[in-house]
Amino acid sequence: MSVHIAAKKGEIAKTVLQPGDPLRAKYIADNFLTEVKLVSKTRNVLYFTGLYEGKEVSVGASGMGIPSIGIYSYELFTEFEVDTIIRIGTCGAYSTDLKVYDLLNVEYAASESTYAKFAWEIEQDLLSHQGKAFGLINDCANEMSLDVRATNIHTSDIFYRKTPGIPAIAKKYNCSAVEMEAFALFANAQYLGKNAATILTVSDVIPTGDQISADQRETALAPMIELALETAIKMN
């Protein structure tokens, strides 16, 4: 048991899928896993462990933003000996080259955040995925005939912004989309020598205002969830 996750040692699998939303974690557990056990509900941040194609996988929420995923991913890696975390989430596209429902496999995350610097003395503002999960995601996508784009993304601390347009750091690193967590996950994994990847579904195209409705999101996210699960069982 850690400060924020009440599971016992051994109740969380070596590979964890991390959506932001606790109810999305429950949806995955209810619809994709068998022999499911709720192993933590501290602060209503739900963690489940079950079987996918006969292999153990856990799924639990990261919450929103760098500080939140920073805490949960660190505790998973250090207190529960998790080897791999695959973040699964949504993002806003900066470019009309992307469309809603597109799948992204994050190669690098750029951020103005000071998280990596002050947590681990990592000075870079552009951090890579860590370990072999990124490559396995691409391999699984090919096997599943899914079109997945490897790309750089911007991890922002800001959801609402006074000045519209693409921030300077996103332009600097040619980031195709924006989300709020991957940079911290990659920083923790880099420092601890763990595997970390991020798969995103484009839910909004910022220049056009196109978006996936709330009612469409569960169905829209199924390909990303299945891709993450297929990758997870190959990590074990």
Q: How confident is the model at residue 1 (pLDDT cuts 50, 70, 90)?
A: low
At residue 217, the pLDDT reads: 79
User: How far is Cα 137 from Cα 118, in angstroms, rounded to an integer?
Assistant: 30
What is the CB-side half-sphere exposure of residue 7 using CA atoms within 13 A? Answer: 25
CB atoms under 10 Å from CB of 118, counted, come to 9
Overall average pLDDT of the 187-198 stretch? 98
Token pair recorded at residue 21: 């939303």
At residue 133, the pLDDT reads: 98
Overall average pLDDT of the 68-73 stretch? 98
- For 109, the 3-state DSSP assignment is strand
To the query of whether residue 204 is one of the catalytic residues in this protein, the response is yes
Overall average pLDDT of the 166-178 stretch? 98
- Higher pLDDT, residue 170 or 161: 170
Overall average pLDDT of the 31-55 stretch? 97
pTM summary value: 0.97
Q: Which domains does the chain possess?
A: 15-235 (3.40.50.1580)
At residue 200, the pLDDT reads: 98
Overall average pLDDT of the 79-102 stretch? 97
Q: Which of 83, 102, 125, 204 is catalytic?
A: 204
Strand-pairing partners, residue 37, are: 49
Give 165-231 as a DSSP string.
S--HHHHHTT--EEESSHHHHHHHHHHHT-EEEEEEEEEEETTTTEE--GGGHHHHTHHHHHHHHHH
